Amino acid sequence: MEPQIYDVIIIGAGPSGLSTALHLHKYRPSITSSLLVIDKAAFPRDKLCGGGLTSDAEVLLNDLGLDINELPNTTSENILFRSGDFEFAFSNSNQHTLRIIRRLEFDLWLNKKARQRGITILEEVVVIDIDPTENFVKVFTPTTTFKAKIVVLAEGSNGTLTKKVFPHRKVKKARLIEAISSSKNDRVRSDSVFDFSPIQNGLDGYFWDFPSPANDGQNNCVGVFDANTHHKTPRSLSNYLFSNYPDFSKQIKREEINGHPILLFDPQHRNQAGQILAVGDCAGADPLFGEGISFALGSGHYAALEIVESLKKGDYQLNNYQQRIIESPMGRSLFIRWAISNILFPLRWKICQFFIWKTLNGIVRYLATNHILGWAKKVKSPIEGL
């Protein structure tokens, strides 16, 4: 007996994969019975992530009818940007600026919401290969071969299938480490800190310090993001954290620090090949902050639009996906972040950083308010039931 040919198979049940599935369910509910999500992990599963949700992520979740307040979370009214001795606060006038969740809980919550809407998710199933043919894509697991008209890759930064489908990408991978520490008492608990001083010490990124919902809000999530794009000899991020932020060396142990690479967005990357497209981190994360969640949710929206239109036409080549992303509010935000990172990170001299953060403070605030954040409010959702 021939196996069912699914309309869509999504490989990866993280935020980008489930966002794609949830948006497909929203825009074309009839597709749900022919939609399959496969993930190699069992949920709940932990995921290294600072857990910061911007207002853009919340807009996208609300648009799906999801209430993030069902999860334990904490909010930051202000974001403190620092570079050396300079500091300024950024805030949203009408609401909190950043919400912090735990990824283990967030991903499990999304998983449950998708199942409640009838979406089939297979856990602990490893996809070992995919093979596109003229009419469908074969998806191979150790025990079963599935077939789909369209396949969505949502397997994260280290996905082997993504490397196979897009072999000619010039991949740039950032580095990230994080740890949970006990709270400091010398700052307002609601503030989140982005300290870009590491640029002056040879890193392409920042140190962060977020309040964490762990342990009833009595902990902080701290870490270092290094875009790893403009230096030839990478420094140890753990050594940097301990030597430049000694307060935290008393609160965390080296063995409690976790790290992993992140695939960065590049406007020259292609994220579509025939009937296959990439979303989320395997399409490229924000190169300025390493932010992944809002763009994972947003890429699911645009992938769903492309898929629905392709299924309506009976043409599964997804040829408009790349242009759809580039011309979207999300794509413009990613491009601006990419451009800023290529200006900001190479300028390691203290005087250059002072000029950017002090003299160009108004421009920094304008970009943050109008282009870096707030893009999700400009996303146009189609009429449901396309």
Give 79's DSSP letter: E
Residue by residue, DSSP assigns 334-376 as HHHHHHHHHHHTT--SHHHHHIIIIITHHHHHHHIIIIIS-GG
pTM for the structure as a whole:
0.91
Dihedral of the alpha carbons of 195, 52, 205, 168, in degrees to the nearest 10? -170
**Dist CA 314 CA 147 (whole Å):** 16
Q: Tell me, yes or no, whether 237 lies in a domain.
A: no
- Rounded Cα distance between 78 and 47, Å, is 25
For residue 333, tell me if it sits in a domain. Answer: yes
What is the extent of the structural domain holding 268? 5-171+264-378
Q: CATH number for the domain including 161?
A: 3.50.50.60
For residue range 261-274, what is the model confidence (pLDDT) as tens digits?
888 999 988 899 99
273's CB contacts (< 8 A; 6+ apart) are 132, 165, 166
Q: What's residue 107's pLDDT?
A: 94
86-90 vs 79-83, strand pairing mode: antiparallel
Q: Residue 280 is encoded by which pair of tokens?
A: 């989320």
Least confident segment among 205-209, 217-221, 240-244, 347-351: 217-221
Q: Is residue 199 part of a domain?
A: no
pLDDT confidence band for 218 (50 / 70 / 90): low
Q: Is residue 30 part of a domain?
A: yes
Model pLDDT, residue 187:
44
Residue 101 lies in a domain: yes
What is the domain count for the chain?
A: 1
Residue 327 counted as domain residue: yes
Spatial distance between the Cα atoms of 38 and 29, rounded to a whole number of angstroms: 19
In a domain, 161, yes or no: yes
Residue 186 inside a domain? The answer is no
Residues with Cβ within 8 Å of residue 139, at least 6 apart in sequence = 9, 11, 38, 127, 130, 145, 146, 147, 148, 151
Give 152-192 pLDDT, tens digit per residue: 999 988 888 998 998 888 777 888 888 777 655 444 457 88
Please, which pLDDT band fits residue 254 given cuts at 50, 70 and 90?
low
What average pLDDT does the segment 76-96 reach? 82
Model pLDDT, residue 385: 46
306 has pLDDT over 70: yes
Q: Is 259 helix (H, G, I), strand (E, B) or coil?
A: strand
